[in-house]
Amino acid sequence: MTDIKAQPFPFPLQREAVALIVIDMQRDFAEPGGFGASLGNDVSRITKIIPDVKRLIAGFRLAGLPVIHTMECHRPDLSDLPPAKRDRGNPSLRIGDLGPMGRILIAGEPGTAILPELAPIDGEIIIEKPGKGAFYATGLGDILKGKGIKQLVFAGVTTEVCVQTTMREANDRGYECLLAEEATESYFPEFKAAAIAMIRAQGAIVGWTAHIDDILEAINHA
């Protein structure tokens, strides 16, 4: 077993049982005209982490370890979109509305696609999820069990919403969770900082956090 340098203490890597989950690195959250921008957010905060996420993905591929991608999206008939989610707030575009990249967060639309720089390759799993967490109403749990996965490394957006929600879901299911700090981001820097603090508080109550270089060194030399 190899330890990854992490906070609040070293992460005990089980190389044969670890996978990377890249959360929602989609055009709708990272590009002008998408859902993130419609909420008034500065999407450049998301695009700036693309090189680090790409480097992390490449490291897992090089090590021959599983990479799983998630996409937040809904059915075209909106049957899996609760009114409580669609009607919240006052965005310029709501989920399902027609925007510059097609219907917002609808499966199969251009804006829902993963950013081309981070696109999955053949054999990588893509999870389409209707909620914040990647376990809700998806087959992720069964997929991980089938692959013998016990540990998850996380990247993606946003740190405090979909990433943290999925980490908490995974933690409750018995997975050991590690967040790659440079490969995650929020539209609000203070939210990212708070989420990281919450995740690793009280003896890694939700999980660990680590830097990409330390993660890559461990998985490629374990």
- What's the pLDDT at 119? 98
Share of the chain above pLDDT 70, in %: 100
- 85, 91, 92, 95 alpha-carbon torsion, rounded to 10°: -20
Give residue 50's Cα distance to chain centre: 12
Q: Which amino acid is at 24?
A: D
Length of the chain: 222
Residue 91 pLDDT grade (very low, low, confident, very high; cuts 50, 70, 90): confident
Choosing from 52, 129, 132, 192, the catalytic residue is 129
Instruction: Judge whether 177 counts as a catalytic residue.
Output: no
Mean pLDDT of 126-152: 98
Q: From the candidates 52, 162, 177, 192, give the one annotated as an active-site residue.
A: 162
Over residues 10-34, the mean pLDDT reads 97
- Residue 162 catalytic? yes
Looking at residues 8-33, what average pLDDT do you find? 98
CATH number of the domain at 106, please: 3.40.50.850
Q: How confident is the model at residue 1 (pLDDT cuts 50, 70, 90)?
A: confident
The model's pTM is 0.97
Q: Which domain holds residue 85?
A: 2-219
pLDDT at position 222 is 63
**Res. 135 pLDDT band, cuts 50 70 90:** very high
Task: Report the C-alpha gap between 197 and 94 in whole angstroms.
Answer: 31
Q: Please tell me which residue, 192 or 222, carries the higher pLDDT value.
A: 192
Count of structural domains within the chain:
1
Residue 61: band (very low, low, confident or very high) from pLDDT cuts 50, 70, 90: very high
- Coil, strand or helix at 18: strand
Q: Is 5 a catalytic residue?
A: no
pLDDT band at 221 (very low <50, low <70, confident <90, very high): confident
Kindly name the residue from 24, 28, 132, 177 that is annotated as catalytic.
Answer: 24
Q: Which alpha helices (H) appear in the chain, and where do they start and end?
A: 27-30, 35-38, 44-47, 50-62, 83-86, 140-147, 164-172, 189-204, 212-219
Res 116 pLDDT > 80: yes
